[in-house]
Amino acid sequence: MGRVRLKIRELAEEKGWTLQDVADRSGVNYNTVKSYARRDDGMNMVDLSAVGKIARAFDVAIEDLMQVLED
């Protein structure tokens, strides 16, 4: 099964946002946003509620925020 990487940094850069801006706009804790943004190697588990809030802040579908990495 693949790991998931969230494209938070890329989307934030496109909008000119900092990770703090993402946290503020999404209502997700800054440390969670920072942790998700820094995991280039992917994660096995994510909080889908938080991911949904971040996707809404970027006005994208969850599928557009997530990238499945192959093992």
Of residues 68, 67, 69, 71, the one with CA closest to residue 10:
67
For residues 32-45, give the mean pLDDT. Answer: 88
Say if pTM beats, i.e. exceeds, 0.85. yes
Helix axes 30-38, 19-26, angle to 10 degrees: 130
Q: Which residue has the higher pLDDT, 42 or 18?
A: 18
Q: What is the pLDDT of residues 18-30, one digit of tens each?
A: 999 999 999 999 9
- Cβ–Cβ contacts within 10 Å for residue 60, how many? 14
